Amino acid sequence: MIPTSGYYHLANVRVHRSLTPGFIATFDTDGFALADIVVADGKISAITPHKKSKAPADAIDLAGRIILPCFVDCHTHIDKGHIWPRKPNPDGTFMGALNATGADRAARWSAEDVAKRMDFSLRSAYAHGTKALRTHLDSVPPQEEISWPVFESMRETWRGRIELQAACLLGIEGVRDKEWFERLAKRVAAAKGVLGVVTYMVPDLEELLDKVFSEAIKHGLDLDFHADETDDVAAISLKKIAEAALWNGFEGNILVGHCCSLARQPDLDVLDTLDKVAKAGLAVVSLPLCNLYLQDRRADQTTPRWRGVTLLHEMKARGIPVAVASDNTRDPFYAYGDLDMLEVYRMATRTLHFDHPVGDWPQTVATTPAKVMRLDGLGMLAAGGSADFIIFKGRSWTELLSRPESDRIVVRDGKAIDRQLPDYAELDELMVD
């Protein structure tokens, strides 16, 4: 359907106001307008309001199908992905996930094992329409010496298809070994990575956060935290991160993931935390699939009573940049998933009420994570930008979000890509003892 000639005219497509800056049109109450898009030499050369009379005779009429820019997935774990068959979570709890993953990492994560699973994950993400992806890399010794070189070569292999970023991942206690942590920060800087830790309420949290910030400042690194992935109301590390950012005068980008406990805290505490988060310029990413899976998991087989996600509406109302992302895929932290950001957005809509009105929530899987990752021009459709977009069957939100859209067309640099998903059987050899 999409010509390989490099020059064509897509007529009668539906674009969304929140993802087409600079496009002037009359948008309906769902934020959509009909448009014509001209593609030339891998770029979008024009987006204009749809006019049947103006379209050339050879224009491809898409009959109102929705076009979105390629996705940006700002929080994943492709070093962990797909280990489920050999290391399932025994009980579906967070501790079960942590212990199972730790054991698998120590026993099995050779460079070859990590590389094969990463490549599998990236092929899926690419086929679903993702253009940029940040992964965390478990960086507890000796894994940092194995996974970072694998990541660096994977980033080269995938350049031009998926923009890859990585953040180191370790529990905040790991920062107590100052010499080792300084070496890790240096290694992350050498790989042009992002400095990341998991925060929870240890007695010396403030001191350890200061060390994290000082290393980030020393090397000019952005920061990426996992914070408060728990229902414990006493978990307030999000607030501690905001305070540390303020008193350290940090100027880089900070992304904080999860923040689940915030949704369980009293309103006045929440307001105080959110004021600080806004003031400190933090961005927040919610991981609805993983949160639904791990949070409120009950040992007595009773039913979960809360959704596990954080307060994105309250954050957005304060101007805090908010995103949603995939997180884990087929590993002990989440038994399912395939790095399909349409699935993430569909689940986010249902879990977090990204609807009635939809407003600018679509930015959570596109423009906003692109900004956090410093990827200018990604996550939007604009004249002069690259022709990287997804053509769906759906013509409205209810059509788009009701089916998996397995037959979507992914266009990269103006050409439709092969969307064949990798076969699970490829991983079988990694799953035997």
Is there binding between residue 327 and Zn ion (CB under 5 A)? yes
Judged by CB under 5 A, the stretch of 18-26, 261-269, 320-328, 364-372 that binds Zn ion is 320-328
- What SS3 class is residue 84? coil
Residue 302 host element (H or E): none
Binding-site string for Zn ion from residue 277 to residue 316, where x marks contact by CB under 5 A and - marks none: ----------------------------------------
Strand pairing report for 409-412 and 389-391 = antiparallel
Q: What's the min distance (Å) between Cβ of 293 and Zn ion?
A: 12
Using the minimum distance from each CB to Zn ion, give the nearer residue, 243 or 331: 331
Using the minimum distance from each CB to Zn ion, give the nearer residue, 327 or 405: 327
Is there binding between residue 79 and Zn ion (CB under 5 A)? no
Using the minimum distance from each CB to Zn ion, give the nearer residue, 47 or 74: 74
> Is 229 a catalytic site residue?
yes
Using the minimum distance from each CB to Zn ion, give the nearer residue, 163 or 327: 327
Q: What's the min distance (Å) between Cβ of 136 and Zn ion?
A: 6
Q: What's the min distance (Å) between Cβ of 103 and Zn ion?
A: 18
Strand pairing report for 67-69 and 389-391 = antiparallel
Window 205-264: residues binding Zn ion (CB under 5 A): none
Q: Among 432, 210, 20, which Cα is nearest to 37's?
A: 20
Cβ 35 vs Cβ 73: under 8 Å? no
CB-CB neighbours of 300 under 10 Å? 4
Residue 322 host element (H or E): strand 322-324
Q: Among 291, 297, 330, which Cα is nearest to 310's?
A: 291
Judged by CB under 5 A, the stretch of 43-51, 80-88, 325-333, 343-351 that binds Zn ion is 325-333
Judged by CB under 5 A, the stretch of 64-72, 179-187, 314-322, 326-334 that binds Zn ion is 326-334
Q: What's the min distance (Å) between Cβ of 200 and Zn ion?
A: 14
Judged by CB under 5 A, the stretch of 25-33, 157-165, 180-188, 319-327 that binds Zn ion is 319-327
Q: What's the min distance (Å) between Cβ of 169 and Zn ion?
A: 8
83 DSSP assignment:
-
Provide the token pair at 237: 């590390």
Tell me which amino acid residue 371 is. Answer: K
Cα–Cα distance measured from residue 403 to residue 15, given in angstroms and rounded to the nearest whole number: 19
- Of all residues in the shown chain, the one whose CB is closest to Zn ion is 327
Catalytic residue of the set 215, 229, 243, 343: 229
Q: 97 has which bridge partners?
A: none
Beta strands in 212-355 (DSSP E): 223-227, 254-258, 283-286, 322-324
Using the minimum distance from each CB to Zn ion, give the nearer residue, 36 or 327: 327
Q: Among 226, 243, 237, which Cα is nearest to 279's?
A: 243
Cα–Cα distance measured from residue 311 to residue 386, given in angstroms and rounded to the nearest whole number: 34
Tell me which amino acid residue 37 is. Answer: I
Is there binding between residue 113 and Zn ion (CB under 5 A)? no
Q: What's the min distance (Å) between Cβ of 125 and Zn ion?
A: 15
Using the minimum distance from each CB to Zn ion, give the nearer residue, 50 or 75: 75
Number of residues that bind Zn ion (CB under 5 A): 1
Active-site residue list = 229
Where on the chain is the footprint of Zn ion (CB under 5 A)? 327
